[in-house]
Amino acid sequence: MTLEQIRGAARSLAGEILPTPLIRAPRFPGLESVELYLKLENLQWTGSFKLRGAMNCLAHLPPETLRRGVVAASAGNHAQGVAYAGRARGIPVTVVMAQNASPLKVAATRSLGATVILQGSNYDEAKQFAVALAEREDRAFIPAFDDPHVIAGQGTVGLEILEALPATAAIVAGVGGGGLLAGIAVAARALGGPRVRIIGVQPTGVDSFRPAIEAGRVVTVAPPRTFADGLATREVGRLPLEILRAARAEAWTVEDPEIARASFLLLEQAKVLAEGAGSAPLAGLMKHADRLPDGPIVAVVSGGNLDPFVLDRVLWYGLVAEGRLLRLRALLDDRPGQLNRFLQVATDQGANIRQIHHEREAPGGGPTEVRVEVELEVEGPDHAGRLVEAYRGSGWNIRSVPLVPDLRSDPQGTGR
């Protein structure tokens, strides 16, 4: 794979994709002294960079093949890319998605005119079905990552970064099958030389990249469970791995809660809506800030197709992780005015009440007591600490109830 192939892809994509903005990031926690930029592929048409590879792949198919239509398998973002590219050329597209694919991504793919078949319990099973279907119907299969045209298309992300910011010291992107990072690596090595660090991030629940880089061969992991559904691929592709090893790419891992916190911070502080795969690079940077070189660092926000129900959980998780929600429990005498007195402490401290439960027959309560559990919005851990002290100082025997949301994707819900 050469820079020329990526330049060729850029020429064929001109006018067909959005050259996305590269913005200076706000000062995220732990990264205050880092010159950090965000490459906003979440703003790409179809909501992710996947459009680039799909468009470029279709541009290389002979017209008679195109006319028969194409088949793809995807967790959702490649599906939308192929559906969009197919519609632009007026050809039929069939996409096979796993039965538990994000409802948002399924609906978006259908609304782009593609036929969606839900098959298999994960991406790899969906892919097997799609490859067989393409063979049976003599239609071209459009790979999601293990293909030179797809990689060259994704590489245009790297080209745009290096052209806008020639001094780039490191580029960090999420790794599923590795097509995005491989394309970026080719552009960055050619234009930035060996000094540009190429860093791929995966959730610990996937972790197929680091062992593959170390062993020099594709490593298959168990069906992944992660909230970053775009990265839930059981193995990195052969060609991406070859390119990434030659480019001396690095592999970092992050936990799902760290990815969720990064999505929350991107939304709150940068006003950027990122799905898990798109916020994993920021999570990696916040976790491994000590490993960064001097100079401009680019985090690729590769997609923004976050299901609203998952967004709801991300917001809640982020508020908990930032210490902005507090749940307190106390036993009160069951007498008129007690609840009022109890809540007055929160009011005096400027904490807003989010939820309240007032239960007579609660476990642990005596016959003359009620149990009150109140969830409060606070400014952060310091405010929470002052509030707890104020309660204790006015004689209330309160207990702080931990808030620990589960952010792993629900197999029946939102993830791949």
Ligand X SMILES: Cc1ncc(COP(=O)(O)O)c(C=O)c1O
- Residue 81, interface with ligand X (CB under 6 A)? no
Min dist. Cβ of residue 51 to ligand X (A): 11
Burial of 99 (0-12, 13-18, 19+ CB in 10 A): middle
Query: Would you say 157 or 292 has its CB closer to ligand X?
Result: 157
**11, 60 contact by CB (below 8 A):** no
Min dist. Cβ of residue 179 to ligand X (A): 3
Min dist. Cβ of residue 250 to ligand X (A): 15
Within positions 158 to 187, which residues make up the interface with ligand X, using CB under 6 A? 174-181
Q: Tell me which H or E stretch contains 297.
A: strand 297-301
Position among 48, 102, 168, 202 found at the interface with ligand X (CB under 6 A): 48
Query: Would you say 160 or 275 has its CB closer to ligand X?
Result: 275
Question: Could you give the 3-state DSSP secondary structure of residue 55?
Answer: helix
Min dist. Cβ of residue 352 to ligand X (A): 34
| CA dist list (Å): 389 to 319, 325, 403 | 21, 16, 19
Query: Would you say 170 or 378 has its CB closer to ligand X?
Result: 170
Min dist. Cβ of residue 186 to ligand X (A): 13
| Strand pairing report for 369-377 and 352-359 | antiparallel
Instruction: Give the whole-angstrom CA distance, residue 206 versus residue 279.
Output: 15
Query: Would you say 179 or 192 has its CB closer to ligand X?
Result: 179
Min dist. Cβ of residue 5 to ligand X (A): 16
Within positions 102 to 161, which residues make up the interface with ligand X, using CB under 6 A? 144-145, 154
Binding-site string for ligand X from residue 228 to residue 267, where x marks contact by CB under 6 A and - marks none:
--xx-x----------------------------------
Min dist. Cβ of residue 40 to ligand X (A): 12
Which tokens is 30 given?
């732990």
Residues in binding contact with ligand X, number by CB under 6 A: 24
Min dist. Cβ of residue 180 to ligand X (A): 4
Instruction: Give the whole-angstrom CA distance, residue 310 versus residue 249.
Output: 31
Which tokens is 102 given?
């994000």
Determine the interface stretch with ligand X among 87-95, 272-280, 288-296, 385-393 (rule: CB under 6 A). 272-280
CA 139 from centroid of its chain's CA atoms: 31
Binding-site string for ligand X from residue 56 to residue 75, where x marks contact by CB under 6 A and - marks none:
-------------------x
Query: Would you say 80 or 94 has its CB closer to ligand X?
Result: 80
| Block residue for tokens 């097509």 | 179
Q: Give the Cβ contact number of residue 204 at 10 Å.
A: 12
Query: Would you say 148 or 303 has its CB closer to ligand X?
Result: 303
Query: Would you say 154 or 342 has its CB closer to ligand X?
Result: 154
**34, 285 contact by CB (below 8 A):** yes
Within positions 275 to 334, which residues make up the interface with ligand X, using CB under 6 A? 275, 277-278, 302-303
Q: 3-state SS of the chain: helix, strand, coil percent to 5?
A: 45, 20, 35
> How far is the first Cα of the chain from the last one, in angstroms, to the nearest whole number?
29
H-only helix segments in 121-147: 123-136
Q: What is the DSSP string of 347-383?
A: HHTTPEEEEEEEESS-TT--TTEEEEEEEEE-SSHHH
Q: Is 142 left (phi over 0), alpha (psi -120 to 50) or beta?
A: beta
Query: Would you say 50 or 139 has its CB closer to ligand X?
Result: 50
**230, 303 contact by CB (below 8 A):** yes
Min dist. Cβ of residue 236 to ligand X (A): 7
Contact positions vs ligand X (CB under 6 A)? 48, 50, 75, 77-78, 144-145, 154, 174-181, 230-231, 233, 275, 277-278, 302-303
